[in-house]
Structure 1
Amino acid sequence: MIDLIKTRRDLHQIPELGFKEYKTQQYIIKYLESLNCNRLEIKKWETGLFVMLKGINPVKTLAYRADMDGLPIKEQTGLPFQSIHENNMHACGHDFHMTIALGLIQHFVDNPINDHLLFIFQPAEEGPGGAKPMVQSSIMKEWKPDMITALHIAPEYPVGTIATKPGLLFANTSELFITLLGKGGHAAYPHHTNDMVVAACSLVNHLQTIVSRNIDPLDSAVVTIGKITGGTVQNIIAEQARLEGTIRTLSATSMSKIKERIEQLTKGLQIGLNCTIEIDYGSNYYQVFNNERLVNEFIQFSKSTKIEVVECQEAMTGEDFGFMLKEIPGFMFWLGVDSQYGLHHANLAPNEKALEVAVEHLSRYLTWKGNLS
């Protein structure tokens, strides 16, 4: 039987960034091969994996997705099993997500059900995004499931609680990188230059009008600039500046509107301040939109067990699982892990009791779902 805590701690020690999950992939393969199950088929995809566990009388295929990558964060938990990869950390719970998947595979190896089960170990959720190319892959086309589910740890909820809702759960998100190019020069001769610090400050102010003046007040959107860099030293007028930020919306229409407005504002600023502006939207994640019938079915099933169910509000967080839900009916839910520190924090320490809770609950749900005629 799998030792969930040991497995999670093993994975926690080797966080790897997107599309660099080589050790993580090998760890999972080694464990799966140790099961010595002839109903199990493994196919590599980049640094991820598709794992098919064949049913005994299949009618459909049910899928569970677990993301694999860590974050470029220096861990500060002080735990004896903290990351051995300096400046990388599983600060978003993907070590939990993978461990739960392995626990489910172990359970269904020992307790087969009628339907096929597909386990998707997805790289690069934190960026640049593995879900979209994975769902477009030939393997997914061959093994395309009829339903898919995934979970995300939630530090704010106690262990034994899950939270979800029909419809929109996570927002549309886009990275935002804006480079401004002008003409530098001596600080004593500003009239011979085009100052990109001034241009960057002006642009930030303009960007903050988009949500308040261009988006329906009954909708929700965020445009945040989290980082500004520019110039070289104090007595040289900056020839270049760069803004880095994020866009988050509760509708795909608002995302398009915000980008359109950013481009209009930058065109005007290029003329007004005689500079060149380049925009890069980086990684873009589609909204996580839960299938109403399936998530309501899951909620009702969960309420019949000892699990505490919370019907939560949508969040402005982003998750590329939305690309999978766009193609395959399914849902995502929050798993309570009761941590003092939140997601993406260097001190995040989820309660490991949640591992058993998740494996037990999902194994019951998938058994019920996978044995329906």
Structure 2
Amino acid sequence: MTMTVLTEEALIQIRRDLHAMPELALKEVRTSAYLEKVIASFDQTNLQVKHIKDLPTALLVRVTGSNPKRTLGYRTDIDALPVSEKTGLPFASKNPGVMHACGHDIHMTVALGVLSYFSEHQPVDNLIFFFQPAEESENGGKLAYELNVFEGEWRPNEFYGLHDNPDLPAGAIGARLGTLFAGTTEVNIDLEGKGGHAAYPQDANDMVVAAAQLIGQVQTIISRSIDPIEGGVITLGKLEAGTIRNVIAGHAHIEGTIRGLTQVMIEKIDQRLREVGEGIAKSFNAEVTVSLNQGGYLPVENAPELTKRFINFMKNNPEVTFVETKPAMTGEDFGYLLSKIPGTMFWLGVEDDSQLHSATLNPDESAISKGINAITAFLNDRMTA
């Protein structure tokens, strides 16, 4: 059953247009203008468009319900990644060094399809569509929330959103109770000691040695401070120290990331990391500064009752292939919005050999219409409860 007023041909063209014009976080000027142009072609009877002065590439659309008991929110992200595309597709990125390597072009097209349906078929409940900039960096969801965008008639009672998944069959819906995506924290550590001549270590304070000890101790946080049944990751991916082989380094800089499936878990890892830094500072008589920045990248913790309803609907819909999925350690800033407004994030299968963030990602476009049909059917069903 086709639920969108946009044809499959039109949807694929929209996706390809968006794919060819990827833009980085907070720079999605052409993308936002294109989205608004498509939305302007819909029946405007029940639509209201809202711009955000301090977040100019964001776009919100409100659909007035016929007999609303609630307001349902639907979010899509619109930014791309600093990746040089290698697909060789005729509609490949025309913006060198930038690509929709995370499939946000698919996300946007599905959102437009759902909106097009409800522009022609007035929903019972009110709907808010949030076309969000800056998911990949700069936490656009948090920025919007802190700008008080979701107030009054623009505040959803529930929020929904998808992420495409190349490991699932095209058009399949994947979901789970609990956490779908981990929360992430950026780690920056600076160690200050005293530089000196390599031949006179007694007159210096070597931060290469101190950094090595810190890195070794950090590896014990997950293995010895975290319940093995729960999930957590610390990766220290960058280390800078020294200038030449015969000079003792007086400064070292380390960068990394923390991932956790609950906010409580992330905060526990944060605390242990600070304590390790304090211990290294005392052991080496050094200054150790541990800077942690989580921003809006909280765990995507799905609301239990809403997610049960969502899963039950998808499982019982004969037109939907449903897959119960495991949590992923990748991050998604929709977690911030779900920490403020209950809701559910789910997967849309796009079946591809390449993974997300890959320069060769090429999602199966047949997933678009299937995703739109599943989502519009669910929202219609939700409005009857």
TM-score by shorter chain over 0.5: yes
Instruction: Please give the residue correspondences for 1:35-50 in structure 2 after superposition, counting only pairs within 5 Å.
Output: 35=42, 37-45=44-52, 46=55, 47-50=57-60
CA contact under 8 A between 1:131 and 1:321: conserved in structure 2? yes
Write the letter of the residue equivalent to 2:377: R
Note if 1:361 corresponds to 2:377: no
| Aligned residue among 83, 103, 119 for 1:93 | 103
Amino acid at match of 1:32: I
CA gap of 1:186–1:36, structure 2 versus 1, over 3 A, is: farther
Code of the aligned partner of 1:367: N
Which of 334, 337, 342 aligns to 2:350? It is 337
Please name the residue that 2:249 is paired with: 238
Structure 2 distance, partners of 1:30, 1:160, is 26
1:258 to 2:269 alignment: yes
Cα deviations across residues 144-183 of structure 1 (Å, max 9, x unaligned)? 1122111111111111311111222222221111122333
Instruction: Indicate the residue corresponding to 1:75 in structure 2.
Output: 85
Query: Could you say which residue in structure 1 is the equivalent of 2:327?
Result: 314
**Alignment correspondent of 1:270:** 281
- 2:37 aligned residue: 30
Q: Quick one: which amino acid aligns to residue 88 of structure 2?
A: G
Pick aligned residue for 1:211 from 222, 234, 259? 222
Question: Structure 2 CA distance, aligned partners of 1:254 and 1:192?
Answer: 41
Q: Which amino acid aligns with 2:125?
A: D
Q: CA shift at 1:58, angstroms?
A: 2.4
Alignment of 1:65-144 (within 5 A): 65-142=75-152, 143-144=154-155
Matches within 5 A, 1:260-299: 260-284=271-295, 285-299=297-311
**Paired residue type of 1:56:** S
Cα drift, residue 36 of structure 1: 5.2
Give the RMSD, CA atoms, in angstroms: 1.9
- Structure 1's 256 and 96: CA in aligned 2 closer, same or farther, altered over 3 A? same
Report the residue type matching 2:349 in the other structure. Answer: G
Contact 1:128 1:283 in 2 (8 A): no
- 1:159 paired residue number: 170
Please report how far the alpha carbon of residue 78 of structure 1 lies from its aligned counterpart in structure 2 after TM superposition: 2.0
Going from structure 1 to structure 2, the CA distance change for 1:314 and 1:267 (only over 3 Å counts) comes to same
* Bigger mean CA offset, 44-53 vs 225-234: 225-234
Q: Which residue of 1 aligns with 2:27?
A: 20
- Comparing 227-236 with 217-226, greater Cα deviation is found at 227-236
Q: CA deviation at 1:277?
A: 2.1
Q: Aligned residues: percent identity?
A: 44
TM-score (norm 2): 0.91
1:327 matched to 2:328? The reply is no
1:57 Cα offset (Å) = 2.7
- Shift in Å, 1:219: 2.0
Letter in 1 for 2:145: V
2:191–2:252 Cα contact (<8 Å) kept = yes
What is the CA distance between 1:223 and its match in structure 2? Answer: 0.9
Q: 1:200 to 1:296 in 2, by over 3 A?
A: same
Offset at residue 120 of structure 1 (A): 0.6
- CA displacement at 1:240 relative to structure 2: 2.7
SS in 2 for 1:281: strand
What is the aligned partner in structure 1 of residue 3 from structure 2? Answer: none
